[in-house]
Structure 1
Amino acid sequence: MGGPLFERHPKGMKGTALGDLCIRHAKVILKEYGALDEDARRITSGQSGRVRVGAVTGPAVGLLMPAIRAVKASAPDVEMTIDVGPSTELVRGLVEGRFDFVIARIPPGYDSRDFRLQPARSEIVSLLVRPEHPLAKHNRIDLSDLSRFEWVVQEIGSPIRQAVEAAFHVKKIATPTRITNSSSLLVVLSLLESTDTIAPQSEEVAKMLAHGPLGTNVVALELADPIMVSPCFIIRNRFGQLPQAAIQLINAVFENL
């Protein structure tokens, strides 16, 4: 430091002015090292850090949100980034490094061997209507009773739409022709509010709308035969290492399966 830090006296060592300056700075350095150690342990244990995850709508509501609440309860400092969208966009984002993992389906054009896939649960389709709908209080409704109504359905090629169309085809019933194409919940709720439109949604979303805090006034039709959607997967890159906070979240997702 360019000069003596201590002076020797009969009763011990005494700091010089330069020594006292070094001691003050050393205390700050040691305090910062302690903070670094604490922050590092919080990140490596999953108590803080960042997680970037995407999901299609049904699993986002039924699987991802309960898992996020569980992680936040034990690690409130973890920063979550959540995107909800179609499988094509989510898997593209995973490949581009924008997500740690996604809950989706493998779209055409992707090789499943490039990913780690772990099955999530299958989705059931609920057909939502307003409580005043002519069929709202009927039991075991057949699909043949539904073709005459207006429908608001996700875009062509979406899994829920494919499942609904397949259910009509299996029973050799003509698919509905009076259709509005939209994946927007705002559009769906607006149409359901004042018309006898039928809106297929995942069961998790239907339960959230009918019984959740949003205060929406919708009910699900009771079908004679359930409509099932192809299952989703928890998808992550095969050769990537997840941060500890993401591992904690993915484990919480598995607990909800």
Structure 2
Amino acid sequence: MTPFRGKLRIRHLEIVLMVADQGSLSKAASQLHMTQSGLSRAIAEIEECVDGRLFERSAKGMVCTPLGLAMCRHASILLSDFGKAEADLAAVARGELGSLTVGCFAMFSGWPLADAVRGFRGAHPQVALTIQMGTHERLIEDLDSGSLDVLISRYTSSLDPLIYRSISLLDDSVVLTCSIGHPLAASTDPKLADCARYPWLTALPGGRIRRELDDMWRRHSLAPPAMIGALSLEFGMAMLSSGEGNYVWMLPGGVAAALQARGALCVLPVDLQLATFPLAAIWRRDRSSTRQVRAFIAALARVVKEGQAA
């Protein structure tokens, strides 16, 4: 056994991540319920294990060295693996067949995710299932750290195919929607200029879609409408149903079609001509897809296929 394997402990990994996160020995010691001198001794012990400095003092506090950054990256992955192992073992001890943690970009959390979860649970009731919602960028970080088994999101051009595997589920565009009682809902041929007279619920500022919207307004010589950036189905539905402000809402086409079929909103026949990427199931190439992952992707694919046929 090497000195590294023989001496490095889970507690050491937690210490490194806490100091890196807090940037201060006193704050990290408080969070870890340690004395500052005890924490300093622990860091020295860890640095002896890895044979190098992990932190340097600066005007901004404790800053990671390149070795420290690498240590944090591996510590995050290792702790996620320990957490995953703990969840799997606890599930088996309860008589279940392991665990599955699925991340989902927030705008797909209703359709197709909720429908897929119902189908998966019906066929695999003994799998402990956890769902995490969030932004694409944050969920990719969680996938990289190992806290997610699979991610349901758009497969964007920024994802390296040498690092990530994927199964494409749906190619659809971004569409514009409004409430059933909105003035635009009664129009058979609304124009972009008509839609620009009302406030919009859109993607978050600074992202690709907002930049494409800015280009769109310039191409059409239109003043941009008031826009609220939000990635929440619950918030969007609340804004539409309030009847105040007459908002229009940008949504993925498949999500919008499912909500329109339920009578929740109206899809406007306006071509925004925005670049889109396919909805996909994404996982890391360095982590094998488990039987639970494959079964969940199959359930999701069935829901998408049924939605397209409807």
Give the TM-score band, short-chain normalised: 0.5 to 0.7
The aligned counterpart of 2:171 is: 122
Question: Out of 114, 126, 148, which is 1:77 matched to?
Answer: 126
> TM-score, normalised on structure 1?
0.67
The one-letter amino acid paired with 2:189 is R
Q: Distance in 1 between matches of 2:152 and 2:211?
A: 19
Q: CA deviation at 1:63?
A: 3.6
Q: CA deviation at 1:116?
A: 1.2
Work out whether 1:103 is the aligned partner of 2:152. Answer: yes
Q: CA deviation at 1:196?
A: 1.4
Tell me which protein shows more strand as a share of its residues.
1
Are the aligned partners of 1:139 and 1:223 in contact in 2 as well (CA < 8 Å)? no
Work out whether 1:195 is the aligned partner of 2:245. Answer: yes
Pick 1 or 2: higher relative contact order, CA cutoff 8 A, min separation 6. 1
Question: Out of 226, 235, 238, which is 2:282 matched to?
Answer: 235
Work out whether 1:137 is the aligned partner of 2:186. Answer: yes
The one-letter amino acid paired with 2:252 is S
SS at 1:141 equivalent: coil
The aligned counterpart of 1:56 is: 105
Are the aligned partners of 2:178 and 2:249 in contact in 1 as well (CA < 8 Å)? yes
Shift in alpha-carbon separation, 1:157–1:123, aligned structure 2, 3 A: farther
SS at 1:148 equivalent: coil
The aligned counterpart of 2:266 is: 219
Q: CA deviation at 1:139?
A: 1.5
Q: Distance in 2 between matches of 1:88 and 1:224?
A: 27
Q: Mind listing any 5+ residue stretches in structure 1 that lack a counterpart?
A: 1-39
The aligned counterpart of 2:300 is: 253
Tell me which protein shows more helix as a share of its residues.
2
Q: Mind listing any 5+ residue stretches in structure 2 that lack a counterpart?
A: 1-88, 306-310
Q: CA deviation at 1:147?
A: 1.6
Compare CA radii of gyration and give the structure with the larger one.
1
Are the aligned partners of 1:56 and 1:85 in contact in 2 as well (CA < 8 Å)? yes
Shift in alpha-carbon separation, 1:107–1:230, aligned structure 2, 3 A: closer
SS at 1:235 equivalent: strand
Are the aligned partners of 2:119 and 2:299 in contact in 1 as well (CA < 8 Å)? yes
> TM-score, normalised on structure 2?
0.57
